[in-house]
Amino acid sequence: METEKRTQKSAEQTVTRDLSEQIKEVTKESHVRAENTELMLSFQRGQVTLPQYKLLLCSLYEIYRALEEEMDRNSNHPAVAPIYFPAELARIKSIEKDLEYFYGPDWREKIVVPAATQRYSHRLRQIGKENPEFLVAHAYTRYLGDLSGGQVLGRIAQKSMGLKSGEGLSFFAFPGVSSPNLFKQLYRSRMNSVELTAEERNGVLEEAVRAFEFNIQVFDGLQKMLSVAGNEQRQSSTDSKAVHGKTLQ
- Smallest gap from Cβ 235 to ligand HEM, in A, equals 31
**Is the CB of 47 or the CB of 233 nearer to ligand HEM?**
47
Report whether 229 contacts 134 (CB < 8 A). no
- Smallest gap from Cβ 70 to ligand HEM, in A, equals 17
Measured CA to CA, the distance from residue 96 to residue 104 in angstroms comes to: 11
- Smallest gap from Cβ 162 to ligand HEM, in A, equals 20
- Smallest gap from Cβ 82 to ligand HEM, in A, equals 16
Measured CA to CA, the distance from residue 219 to residue 216 in angstroms comes to: 5
- Smallest gap from Cβ 100 to ligand HEM, in A, equals 24
Measured CA to CA, the distance from residue 130 to residue 142 in angstroms comes to: 20
- Smallest gap from Cβ 167 to ligand HEM, in A, equals 22
**Is the CB of 38 or the CB of 200 nearer to ligand HEM?**
38
Measured CA to CA, the distance from residue 36 to residue 9 in angstroms comes to: 36
Q: Closest residue to ligand HEM, Cβ-based?
A: 149
Nearest CA to 173 out of 95, 249, 81, 64 is that of 95
22-29 contacts at long range (C-beta below 8 A, 24 or more positions apart): 22/201, 22/205, 23/137, 23/140, 23/191, 23/204, 23/205, 23/208, 26/205, 26/208, 26/209, 27/141, 27/208, 27/209, 27/212
**Is the CB of 37 or the CB of 107 nearer to ligand HEM?**
37
Report whether 201 contacts 19 (CB < 8 A). yes
**Residues lying near ligand HEM in the complex (CB under 6 A):** 24, 31, 34-35, 40, 43-44, 140-141, 144-145, 148-149, 153, 212, 215
Measured CA to CA, the distance from residue 110 to residue 25 in angstroms comes to: 39
**Is the CB of 33 or the CB of 77 nearer to ligand HEM?**
33
**Is the CB of 18 or the CB of 232 nearer to ligand HEM?**
18
Q: Is the dihedral of CA 124, 140, 161, 45 positive or negative?
A: negative
